[in-house]
């Protein structure tokens, strides 16, 4: 991994962790507000629960892309496909 791709990965990780932190803060505020006001969690668009669910799905997709399908995974797949395409030459 060269310096530019490492720097890009660090920036992506930093953004992801920052988004995850804000998600946790906002989710905590909304859920604790619901519990203290009503005694239950209300799933409606205006209370923020649906927005948190969509935000959570987006964070999950970003996490999969960032941690599972990173550049190393891509290089491994490219190398595997290139090995499949090689034909043996018989002399």
Express each pLDDT in 58-86 by its tens digit. Answer: 999 999 988 888 777 777 888 887 777 66
The answer to the question of residue 57 being in a domain is: yes
The answer to the question of residue 43 being in a domain is: yes
Going by C-alpha positions, the residue among 56, 46, 65 that lies closest to residue 24 is 56
Q: How far is CA 48 from CA 25, 26, 58, 69, 80, in A?
A: 13, 9, 15, 30, 45
The answer to the question of residue 15 being in a domain is: no
Distance (Å, whole) CA 80 – CA 57:
31
The answer to the question of residue 27 being in a domain is: yes
The answer to the question of residue 14 being in a domain is: no
Radius of gyration of the chain (CA): 22
The answer to the question of residue 73 being in a domain is: yes
pLDDT on residue 57: 94
Write out the residue range of the structural domain in which residue 34 sits. 21-82
Task: Please count the structural domains in the chain.
Answer: 1
The answer to the question of residue 65 being in a domain is: yes
pLDDT on residue 47: 63
pLDDT on residue 43: 58
The answer to the question of residue 70 being in a domain is: yes
* Average pLDDT across the chain, whole number: 80
Q: Can you list the pairs that 37-41 forms with residues at least 24 positions away whose Cβ atoms lie under 8 Å? A: none
- pTM, rounded to two decimals: 0.66
Q: Which residue has the higher pLDDT, 72 or 54?
A: 54
């Amino acid at each position: 991994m060269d310096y530019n791709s490492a720097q890009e990965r660090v920036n992506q990780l930093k953004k992801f962790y920052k988004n995850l932190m804000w998600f946790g803060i906002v989710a905590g505020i909304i859920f604790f507000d619901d519990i203290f006001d009503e005694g239950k969690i209300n799933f409606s668009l205006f209370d923020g629960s649906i927005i948190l669910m969509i935000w959570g799905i987006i964070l999950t997709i970003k996490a999969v892309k960032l941690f599972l399908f990173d550049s190393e995974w891509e290089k491994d797949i490219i190398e595997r496909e290139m090995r499949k395409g090689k034909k043996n030459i018989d002399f």
